Amino acid sequence: MNNGKKLYRSGTDRIIAGVLGGISDYFGWNSTLVRILYVVLALTPGINLLAILSYVVMIAIMPSSQSGDSAFNQFKSGMATRDPAKKSRKVIHDVEEKNVDDHQKRGQS
């Protein structure tokens, strides 16, 4: 059943995050059938919380078919590159400063 395939979040067959589309691609099932089965599980009392939590965990750990990296690793690498010391400053050229006294600021002449 595996045949060397890897489980990825689908980049094309996705409604929320591509998890169920990736599962249907991996097993060769119809994606609509997988989604219907998931909704039934998510609405079943006693299993619903587990189904929803497992979906959230799969979003975090399953790699994306487009980037090849999981959402958690993408978030982690995105946070590592956001160094406040490396932010570029904008330089504005050709700006004239004028001293405006208090009367002109209020619209009085």
Residues 36-49: pLDDT tens digits? 999 999 999 999 89
Residue 65 within a domain: yes
- The more confidently predicted of residues 39 and 90 is 39
Residue 35 is assigned to a structural domain of this protein: yes
* Model confidence, pTM: 0.57
Domains of the chain: total: 1
Distance CA 23, CA 2 (A): 12
Percent of the chain clearing pLDDT 90 (strictly above)? 21
Q: What is the mean pLDDT of residues 42-69?
A: 85
Residues in the chain, total: 109
On the question of pLDDT at 83 being above 70, the answer is: no
Query: Does any domain span residue 96?
Result: no
CA distances from 82 to 74, 75, 88, 91, 98 (A): 13, 11, 12, 21, 36
d(CA 59, CA 69): 11
Residue 55 sits in which domain range? 1-75
